[in-house]
């Protein structure tokens, strides 16, 4: 029997002919033709942008719009818009013919089938976006994809192991189709998976002041750190861990993202490390964020999988290590994040950045005799071969490593007399680490002499040799 493909052309698949016997070349993979159009050759510009019009081939069913696609760890997370209940087929795309005009330049056609998902699915690969009746228009991913006033949102987390080859390389271009009630759309606009990558490292010899980049002497890559990626709306779009070189990598479509590192997952390169030892951020792509987003707070736990970035802040916890980055199709070098285990950045009794935590860190970590902390105290350069506490408790003013509170930096933690008062709720632990110096004059050097009087004698309260 003869099968008639009505109002469709197939491009670049060998000697495929359209209904009148002429070669279907120079066109797109699927071309839905409006009523009265040329069913044999299609309608220029061939790509029919999404709209509310339904008169034409396959009811001019709107193609899915992929708003973001991120490869993180072992999953592909895809989000976008589609008609309610539409079956969405994902493909690795090839470019449209060069003869197409500018409208078609950002639209591909399916070359390699990847997988099928369904908008609204509650089993199998489930759709976790329950929004309905949505509108969109104008540029998405940098180009016009038409408009709709009654679309549903979709978000799917697709195991890479279920895709051909079990992976998706950065640079892969995705496209998709929608099928509803037996009708299939044209191929959607392209979504390119470009690399977003950066590093997490320990700055063992950080000694106060401006945060030091990964290129500084003595920095050490940290593998196994948890890195989260959030889109411009604050929704989690991917989680990965750093490799042995300290590198994290996401495959992302162009857009604005926030990268976050979970501080408690950053380990030390020094012997004696356990998960109870907590570091403090020294660098997040800038040199002025020592202590993190709010040094008085502790870092929020890792995202449970459904939380927004904003919802991670509660009480005295907040995501400490965050940086915003805008990605491109060409790939983007993301922010690096540096950490140190000797910083005291708040007056809290315990927890990240506290005096109590420094003592725990210094007592457990070995190799003090190898340290060469790059900083100073009131007497001069910090001694080598000694683990010195690095006090940088903010006073709300601008200093090397800290923005002023009025410019987005941390608020002052000093009292009305300009004193950073630490009031332990219980006896501080004994310092057992060899060559450890508890030196409060690093506060004077890093923040300044903020009080008018003299409190106590000297500044080195305790030193173990």
Domain boundaries, the chain: 63-192, 195-464
Is pLDDT larger for residue 84 or for residue 142? Answer: 84
Task: Give phi and psi for 335, each to the nearest 5.
Answer: -70, 145
Q: Mean pLDDT across the stretch 293-321? A: 96
* Strand residue runs (E) in 160-232: 173-180, 183-184, 191-192, 194-203, 219-221, 226-230
User: How confident is the model at residue 209, as a pLDDT?
Assistant: 97
User: How confident is the model at residue 290, as a pLDDT?
Assistant: 98
Q: Mean pLDDT across the stretch 104-126? A: 90
- Which percentage of the chain shows pLDDT scores above 70? 86
Please report which confidence band the pLDDT of residue 14 belongs to, taking 50, 70 and 90 as the band edges. Answer: very low
Is pLDDT larger for residue 73 or for residue 364? Answer: 364
User: How confident is the model at residue 142, as a pLDDT?
Assistant: 83
428's tokens: 């501080």
Is pLDDT larger for residue 395 or for residue 68? Answer: 395
- For 46, 168, 190, 258, 261, the CA distances from 142, given in Å and listed in that order, are 20, 22, 10, 19, 28
> How far is Cα 190 from Cα 26, in angstroms, rounded to an integer?
18
Per 3-state DSSP, the chain is made up of helix, strand and coil in percentages (nearest 5) of 10, 35, 55
User: How confident is the model at residue 30, as a pLDDT?
Assistant: 82
pLDDT digits over 21-39, tens only?
343 445 567 878 766 665 5
168's tokens: 């998706």
Residue with tokens 């300009």: 418
Q: What is the largest CA-CA distance in the chain?
A: 101
- Number of other CB atoms surrounding residue 99 within 10 Å: 11
Q: Mean pLDDT across the stretch 73-94? A: 93
Classify 195-464 by CATH class: mainly beta
> How far is Cα 28 from Cα 109, in angstroms, rounded to an integer?
7
Please report which confidence band the pLDDT of residue 43 belongs to, taking 50, 70 and 90 as the band edges. Answer: low
Please report which confidence band the pLDDT of residue 330 belongs to, taking 50, 70 and 90 as the band edges. Answer: confident
The answer for residues whose C-beta is within 8 angstroms of residue 273's C-beta and 6 or more apart is 267, 364, 365
Please report which confidence band the pLDDT of residue 62 belongs to, taking 50, 70 and 90 as the band edges. Answer: very high
* Common-topology check for domains 63-192 and 195-464: yes
User: How confident is the model at residue 306, as a pLDDT?
Assistant: 85
pLDDT over 90 (residue 331) = no
pLDDT digits over 412-427, tens only?
999 999 999 999 999 9
User: How confident is the model at residue 40, as a pLDDT?
Assistant: 53
User: How confident is the model at residue 217, as a pLDDT?
Assistant: 87
- Which percentage of the chain shows pLDDT scores above 90? 69
pLDDT digits over 366-395, tens only?
999 999 999 999 889 999 999 999 999 999
Please report which confidence band the pLDDT of residue 94 belongs to, taking 50, 70 and 90 as the band edges. Answer: confident
User: How confident is the model at residue 17, as a pLDDT?
Assistant: 38
Nearest partner of 461 among 306, 352, 355, judged by Cα: 355
DSSP state of 442: H
Q: Mean pLDDT across the stretch 426-430? A: 95
User: How confident is the model at residue 97, as a pLDDT?
Assistant: 64
Contact indicator for 51, 126 with CB cutoff of 8 Å: no
Classify 63-192 by CATH class: mainly beta
Q: Mean pLDDT across the stretch 53-63? A: 89
DSSP state of 308: B
pLDDT digits over 175-223, tens only?
999 999 999 999 999 998 888 999 999 999 999 999 999 999 889 999 9
110's tokens: 């399916």
Please report which confidence band the pLDDT of residue 332 belongs to, taking 50, 70 and 90 as the band edges. Answer: confident
Per DSSP, the chain holds a count of helices (H) and strands (E) of: 3, 30
User: How confident is the model at residue 111, as a pLDDT?
Assistant: 85
> How far is Cα 406 from Cα 80, in angstroms, rounded to an integer?
38
Q: Mean pLDDT across the stretch 98-107? A: 66
DSSP state of 107: B
Q: Mean pLDDT across the stretch 237-262? A: 93
User: How confident is the model at residue 10, as a pLDDT?
Assistant: 42
> CA 219, 268, 243: angle at the middle one, nearest 5?
75
Task: Give phi and psi for 381, each to the nearest 5.
Answer: -65, 140
């Amino acid at each position: 029997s003869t099968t008639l493909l009505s109002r469709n052309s197939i491009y670049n698949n060998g000697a495929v002919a359209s209904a009148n016997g002429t070669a279907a070349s120079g066109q797109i993979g699927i071309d839905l033709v409006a009523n009265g159009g040329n069913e044999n050759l299609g309608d220029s510009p061939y790509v029919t942008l999404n709209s509310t019009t339904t008169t034409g081939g396959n009811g001019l069913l709107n193609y899915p719009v992929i708003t973001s696609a991120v490869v993180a760890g072992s999953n592909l997370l895809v989000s976008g818009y589609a008609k309610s209940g539409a079956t969405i087929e994902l493909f690795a795309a090839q470019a449209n013919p060069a003869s197409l005009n500018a409208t078609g330049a950002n639209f591909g056609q399916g070359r390699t089938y990847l997988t099928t998902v369904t908008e609204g699915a509650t089993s199998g690969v489930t759709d976790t976006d329950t929004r309905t009746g949505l509108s969109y228009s104008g540029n998405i991913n940098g180009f016009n994809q038409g408009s709709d006033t009654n679309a549903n949102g979709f978000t799917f987390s697709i195991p890479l192991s279920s895709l051909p080859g079990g992976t998706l390389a950065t640079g892969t271009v995705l496209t998709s189709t929608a099928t509803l009630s037996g009708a299939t759309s044209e191929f959607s606009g392209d979504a390119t998976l470009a690399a977003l990558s950066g590093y997490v490292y320990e700055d063992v010899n950080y000694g106060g002041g401006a945060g030091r980049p990964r290129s500084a002497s003595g920095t050490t890559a940290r593998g196994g750190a948890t890195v989260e990626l959030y889109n411009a709306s604050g929704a989690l779009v991917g989680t990965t861990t750093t490799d042995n070189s300290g590198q994290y990598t996401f495959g992302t479509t162009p857009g604005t993202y926030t990268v976050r590192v979970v501080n408690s997952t950053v380990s030390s390169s020094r012997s004696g490390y356990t998960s109870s030892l907590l570091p403090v951020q020294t660098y997040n792509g800038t040199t002025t964020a020592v202590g993190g987003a709010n040094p008085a707070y502790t870092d929020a736990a890792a995202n449970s999988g459904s939380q927004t970035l904003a919802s991670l802040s509660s009480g005295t916890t907040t995501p400490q290590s965050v940086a915003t980055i805008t990605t491109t199709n060409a790939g983007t070098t993301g922010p690096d994040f540096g950490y140190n285990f000797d910083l005291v950045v708040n007056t809290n009794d315990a927890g990240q950045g506290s005096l109590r935590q420094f003592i725990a860190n210094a007592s457990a970590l070995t190799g003090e005799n190898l340290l060469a902390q790059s900083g100073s105290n009131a007497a001069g350069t910090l001694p080598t071969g000694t683990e010195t506490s690095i006090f940088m408790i903010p006073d709300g003013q601008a200093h090397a490593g800290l923005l002023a509170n009025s410019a987005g930096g941390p608020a002052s933690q000093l009292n009305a007399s300009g004193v950073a008062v630490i009031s332990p709720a219980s006896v501080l632990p004994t310092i057992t680490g060899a060559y450890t110096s508890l030196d409060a004059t690093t506060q004077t050097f890093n923040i300044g002499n903020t009080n008018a009087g003299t409190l106590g004698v000297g500044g080195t309260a305790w030193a173990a040799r």
